[in-house]
Structure 1
Amino acid sequence: MKMSRKKIAILVVGLLVVAGVVIQAVWRPFGHRKVAENSEVVLDIHHPDAVIDSEALSRLPRDILRVPLLHDVLTQDFVDYYESSNTRLSAEGALRRLAFEHQLDWRDELIRRVFDEPAHVLLWRSPDGRLGYWAMSMHRNGFAKLLQGVGNVATSDAQLSQVAKLSGDVPVYALKLAVGRTLLFASKDDRLVVLSAPGVLLDAKGALLSERADAISEMLSSGRDDAARAYRLDAAGDAPKGHRLVVSANYLSFGYQAFFSGIDALRFDFSPNGSGSAAANWQTSALIDPGKLPQQWNGTDLWRALPANAAACTSLPADWKEASGLLGKVAGGGADNAAAIGDQLTGPAAVCWYAKSTLVAPVFVARVKTQDAAGIAALKSALGKTFGDVIGAYEAKAAKADGADAGYRRLPVTTRDQGADVTVWQRPVSARSGTAVTSKASFASQLSAERYFPVTLALAHGYLIFSPDGRLVDDTLAVLDKRYPALADTLAPQRLPRTILTLTPSSAAALIEREAGAALPADQEAVFRNASRTHLLPKLHALAHYPPVSLTLPQNLPGSTGWVPVEWWFDRAKADAGSNTSAADTPADQPGTEGD
């Protein structure tokens, strides 16, 4: 039956509602909090924080669950959450109302067509740190031509209005979904672009932001944008196969990319080669700039210094010059001491979490350049001064130190030498989440809380070691003295140089379970504790049954910036034997394949 112009316009409005909630509802973690309708959004239109290319957005959550580990941890709840979110349910209610009032029987078909269409999504971080702003481009295969009827409705509709014109007299429409939530959209020929907020394209006065307007116009004309150039990707085709997710390292590191120099982004590709789960898998890649990698990101020395049985460890290709600049801004000793420390550090760093400690108290290890006795003495002086300036909090009960400011008291720093090559600095810091019990300390009367952190720094045998939990520093020193097994003893020797991450699910699950219990005391959080026991603990117990896993880069990195594959290795032999022997050289083609 031929549709009237009015019915076409109503159909298009419904289409746009659902197109909007593809991101707002189905991708709820990327949703953002309310912002002023007329505020300009701060973002770089040419360099998004994340990119999604999907053959069908509706299938992405289920395809993520093809990774067996994620399937056991997230289960069907991951998909059901997005299917029943408040935003999506309210949008479906609006569609039912439109269909009822105008006697249209297209709701199910409309949702299916929108969610099953290919989509190209650019995402940027919002002020709350989430990927809250987005621009979605769709090739509608002729369906977007129905948008030609929107102009007639926009002249008299309270929810739909024309707010601007792009080059070529392409109108930009605003669709108000609720108070504080408005989508912008524009169409040209068979292309449609939807924006998450007016501020993505318009300034505070409602005028077009020229640079962004040009970018949106290009997306409408050719379907292309600068994301492919920014991340060195092949331009997405009109009909992408599977899914491609790209996330910048700057976003993943919360802006602290000085500790991740040389890593520009991570990419996850899903290739559907058939209908069964065994015929499809996820591939992982990293965008590497080898010129910024310290010692080509060789972590062998770090894995030989760190204690075994870590819940999780990762190496960090740190830019020590930039990191020392950050340290100089917070250290009372100024930039000189910070620069002296940064100049003497080399290669990547590493951070590890252990089940015996807490999530907020990992251990950090870095290599120190080989130097003479005078250089070591200068480094010790800079470390001691900086540690005393930076570490510590106000202690109301602490005794006033000689010459110290009476208004700001901290416990003293203790320094001890453990042989010719080992110096350890430590300062207790009161904290409710501390790793040590105050009552067992000789200085308990000076602490302000029932627990405290024995924050510790050590310079030993060419390594710099730091942790809020002094026990982890002691364990690392024991490894260097050959009195405790090293993490390297549990990894395949041939993979040591290129291993960038290790995870022991059983230890990680135990750590998370204990942290959840500490955060939800039975006498204060009975409801949440019961929910944790019902929903979280079964997932953690399922996670604990997985064997240790490690991620490695190829032995030979490219000569210039480019994507390199990241290999996953599961240590099945160790899991079966329950020993600390060297890991079996058992590759997992990728964690999405059957049995991995």
Structure 2
Amino acid sequence: MSRRNIAILVVGFLVVAGVVIQAVWRPFAHRKAAESGEIILDIHHPDAVIDSEALSRLPRDMLRVPLLHDLLTQDFVDYYESGNTRLSAEGALRRLAFEHQLDWRDELIRRVFDEPAHVLLWRSPDGRLGYWAMSMRRNGLAKLLQGLGNVAASDAQLSQVGKLSGDVPVYALKLAVGRTLLFAAKDDRLVVLSAPGVLLDANGGLLSERADAVSDMLASGHDDAARAYRLDAGLDAGPDAGGDAPKGHRLVVSANYLSFGYQAFFSGIDALRFDFSPNGGAAANWQTSALIEPGKLPQQWNSADLWRALPANPAACASLPADWKAASALLGKVADGGTDNAAAIGDQFAGPAAVCWYAKSTLVAPVFVARLKTQDAARTAALKAALGKTFGDVIGAYEAKAAKADGDTASYRRLPVTTRDQGADVTVWQRPVSARSGTALTSKAAFASQLSAERYFPVTLALAHGYLIFSPDARLVDDTLAVLDKRYPALADTLAPQRLPRTILTLTPSSAAALIEREAGAALPADQEAVFRNASRTHLPPKLHAFARYPAVSLTLPQNLPGSTGWVPVEWWFDRAKAGAGSDAVGVVETPADQPGTEGD
């Protein structure tokens, strides 16, 4: 065959192959908006809510907090302006206006993105707040949305995918492969959805419950988020709000989202709320609130006894209003003793629990402390027996090199639990567990030959002086025991006595910065993450050093909590060393964070 004939044959083959691929695989076909299928979310209870006078101003207003101003970069301020979704949407609108000769000026398009907005957000599978529904109203929307029906009938990027009640059309705007927005408009209101699966099922049909919710947003500007989080009209600029534009910003985040789903361990707090009020420019500030359910707070969330037991200078400490009944039910599922044994353990605890991280340890090895109801000798003895059995049942992992005990034929091998009594009121249980992220070096252990990794956790549990103490790092348990024996300063010594009962979180920036810097280096090995490690070394330390210069800060609730579920203010206090105090002094002067002349809002 001649070269010409060979070339014609090759080209013909490629054309036929292309036709077959397009017919079967259809990589260039116009994909339906509903291909991703229904997204799992609760339309009536979002994970977060944002009400804003203008979303583009939110990042700049967040930087009014001096701490955030020192830590965040200009990229944070510009993120909303240069985000892929916004730029893609603006570009798509400009193209539609140009190709279809619509009277949409650039300033009109920009104004739409700076309207007062109400945003509902839900977590996506990667843990981010990746799904959202945004409701906007007022200036220019009616003009912008004129003629969309005619455009959708002839445009490959814009299509109509359904109709809400009242024959309100729902449009899909395809921004890129795998990235499509849905929106619907009625009168001067617009609702935008981040993905087709928020409203459509796998077949492209409307999900009735969510369609009703979107219809309500278009009709009244309201949704169930206000009821779920007990919010007043506030920033919601619906028709019933009197027509005035909202002022400032309001951010609400559920405790369930912040706790990665572990809210059962502190069910008394439902959400956190951050409100920004302009108040004439220079006086603008942020305020913090918590949604509290008093009926679920153990002993009214009094944390004073916990702070008296924990070592001073933590990187961070938090008080958790634990639901001991729920915790007992969980323990009953994992422990061999069954639900009765677990309930017997849970019944012995009262009040909240506390968790603390220290710079001497790691992020994966905090210390937990809980208070016993009573120190009755008989009950303490029974609890000690139950704890020892449960610790041996649930703590530990398979150790390939561990020696079997005499007569042990089981294939599952763990190192033995050691038990020691340190006086009449102190019992300590410990079991080594091999782990690459362990807090102790295997080479320095007497039982090194039985460990399966270069590091291990000396997992430790202690019952001492009416407290239960647990940590994967034995050093933190030892320090806590030293506090109870009056051999080490307590965290309570560095906090204002009158605020001990209501302090729910305390943070020491210098210790936290040291912990984060060391952990970041350990998490990015040079031989595996060279580029990321170099970037971290360049950008992270300056921010952490700026953070470390801040004084210790603590958060407190009001002395008297309400009798029913509601929002209560959270105060921020900066703890400053007393003038003339030496480096070992524990006296402090607490300054409210919103007082003029202090370090932050």
Asked if TM exceeds 0.5, the reply is yes
**Alpha-carbon contact 2:591-2:598 (below 8 Å) kept:** no
Q: Distance in 2 between matches of 1:433 and 1:354?
A: 16
Q: CA deviation at 1:101?
A: 5.6
| 1:303-361, Cα deviation, whole Å (9 max, x unpaired) | 00000011110100000101111222222332222212111111000000000001110
How many angstroms apart in 2 are the aligned matches of 1:279 and 1:16? 69
Q: For residues 180 and 560 of structure 1, what CA distance do their matches in structure 2 show?
A: 46
Assess, with a 3 A threshold, how the Cα gap between structure 1 residues 324 and 402 changes in structure 2: closer, same or farther: farther
- Report the CA distance shift for 1:104/1:318 in structure 2 as closer, same or farther (over 3 A): same
Tell me whether 405-414 or 304-313 shows the greater mean CA deviation: 405-414
Who is 2:116 aligned against? 118
Task: Return the alpha-carbon distance in structure 1 between the equivalents of residues 9 and 104 of structure 2.
Answer: 8
**99-108 vs 51-60, greater mean Cα deviation:** 99-108
- When structure 1 is superposed on structure 2, of 433-442 and 137-146 the one drifting more is 137-146
1:52-80 alpha-carbon deviations (Å, 9 max, x no partner): 00000001111111110011111323224
Matched-pair contact (CA < 8 Å) for 1:23–1:30: no
- The two structures, once aligned, show a CA RMSD in angstroms of 9.1
Query: Which deviates more, 168-177 or 348-357?
Result: 168-177
Q: Deviations over 1:159-179 (max 9, x none)?
A: 222121111111111122222
The residue matched to 1:28 in structure 2 has which SS?
coil
- Alignment-derived partner of residue 7 in structure 1: 5
Q: Which runs of 5 or more structure 2 residues have no equivalent in the other structure?
A: 231-239
- Equivalent-residue separation in structure 1 for 2:442 and 2:369 (angstroms): 27
Matching residue within 149, 153, 156 for 1:155: 153
Residue 24 and residue 287 in structure 1: after superposition, are their counterparts in 2 closer, same or farther (change >3 A)? Answer: farther
15 and 548 in structure 1: CA distance in 2 versus 1, 3 angstrom threshold: farther
Distance 1:169 1:4 in 2: 64
Instruction: Go from structure 1 to structure 2 and tell me whether the alpha carbon gap of 1:77 and 1:141 turns closer, same or farther (over 3 Å shift).
Output: closer
Give, in whole Å, the separation in 2 of the partners of 1:7 and 1:96. Answer: 47
Report the more deviating stretch, 321-330 or 96-105.
96-105
Percent identity (aligned): 90
Secondary structure of the corresponding residue to residue 33 of structure 1: coil
Uncovered stretches (5+) of structure 1, i.e. residues with no partner: none
Q: CA deviation at 1:203?
A: 1.9
Q: Determine if contact 2:402/2:451 at 8 Å carries over to the other structure.
A: yes
Residue 52 to residue 445, structure 1, CA distance change in 2 (3 Å): same
Contact 1:25 1:82 in 2 (8 A): no
TM-superposed CA distance for 1:521, in Å, is: 3.2
2:27 alignment partner, SS class: helix
How far residue 111 of structure 1 moved from its aligned partner, in angstroms, is: 4.8
Q: Which residue of 2 aligns with 1:61?
A: 59
Distance change (3 Å), C-alpha of 1:97 and 1:202:
closer
For 2:95 and 2:376, locate their aligned partners in 1 and report how far apart those are by CA, in whole Å. 79
Tell me the SS of whatever aligns to 1:584: strand
Question: Aligned partners of 2:456, 2:307: CA distance in 1, in Å?
Answer: 29
Query: Does the 8 Å CA contact 2:34/2:202 hold for their aligned counterparts?
Result: no
Kindly state the Cα deviation for residue 134 of structure 1 after the two structures are TM-superposed: 1.0
Given that residues 434 and 451 in structure 1 are in contact (C-alpha distance below 8 angstroms), is that contact kept between their aligned partners in structure 2? yes
Q: How does 1:176-575 map to 2 (within 5 A)?
A: 176-232=174-230, 239-273=245-279, 278-402=282-406, 404=408, 406-573=410-577
Q: 1:242 to 1:30 in 2, by over 3 A?
A: farther
**Native 8 Å contact 1:30 1:130 kept in 2:** no
Deviation track 1:451-497 (CA, whole Å, cap 9, x = no partner) reads 11000000111100000000000000000011110000000101101
8 A Cα contact 1:263 1:287, kept in partner: yes
Partner residue in 2 for 1:37: 35
Task: Please tell me whether the aligned partners of residues 12 and 147 of structure 1 are also in contact (alpha carbons under 8 angstroms).
Answer: no
Using the size of structure 2 for normalisation, the TM-score is: 0.88
Change (3 A) 1:441 1:291: same
Q: Distance in 1 between matches of 2:411 and 2:19?
A: 54
Note the alpha carbon deviations across 1:561-594, whole angstroms, 9 max, x for none.
Answer: 1110000001133599564523213111289987
Distance 1:355 1:164 in 2: 56
Asked whether the equivalents of residues 17 and 91 of structure 1 are also in contact (C-alpha less than 8 Å), the reply is: no
Distance, in Å, in 1 between the alignment partners of 2:345 and 2:40 is 35
C-alpha distance 113-24 of structure 1, shift in aligned 2 (>3 A) = farther
CA distance in 2, matches of 1:346, 1:520: 41
Is 1:37–1:182's contact at 8 Å kept on the other side of the alignment?
no
Tell me: CA distance 1:89–1:551, structure 2 relative to 1, closer, same or farther (3 Å): same
CA distance in 1, matches of 2:12, 2:50: 23
Contact 1:396 1:448 in 2 (8 A): yes
Distance 2:9 2:121 in 1: 27
